[in-house]
Amino acid sequence: MRPLEREATAPRLLTRADALRLLKIGETTLFWLQRTGKLRPIRIGSRVLFNVAEIERIAAHGASLTGAEKEAAAKRNPKVSGRASARKAPRPKTATG
């Protein structure tokens, strides 16, 4: 097999930024997709990459998260579940004079 033929059959990988841009989602949604197993990352050293075929599958069919899936993922990582409740109401603006 020639090197060019081997290269053509290798899976194409995308970075997190590419996946976010193509799926038109935020980092939190990408995180939840990973935590619930709907999107499997490929780790190479410290890099987190995604197979193009998986990104295309999610883009075509969607991968919404149910409340139960979010709760299950939050139980595995309690730091995540406290973030939304820890937000404070915006402080009123004070007049300058």
Higher pLDDT, 9 or 89: 9
Determine which of 16-25, 66-75, 85-94 has the lowest per-residue pLDDT on average: 85-94
Q: Does any domain span residue 52? A: yes
Q: Does any domain span residue 48? A: yes
Q: Does any domain span residue 96? A: no
Range(s) of the domain holding residue 57: 3-77
Q: What is the pLDDT of residue 37?
A: 87
Q: Are 22 and 55 in contact (CB under 8 A)?
A: yes
Q: Can you tell me the distance from the alpha carbon of 6 to that of 27, in angstroms, rounded to the nearest whole number?
A: 33
pLDDT tens for residues 35-89?
A: 888 899 999 999 999 999 999 999 888 876 677 777 776 776 666 544 444 455 5
Q: Does any domain span residue 33? A: yes
Q: Does any domain span residue 92? A: no
**Signed CA dihedral, 59, 17, 48, 75: sign only:** negative
Q: Does any domain span residue 90? A: no
Q: Does any domain span residue 31? A: yes
pTM above 0.75, yes or no: no
Q: Does any domain span residue 95? A: no
Q: Can you tell me the distance from the alpha carbon of 69 to that of 65, in angstroms, rounded to the nearest whole number?
A: 6
SS3 55: helix
The structural domain count of the chain equals 1
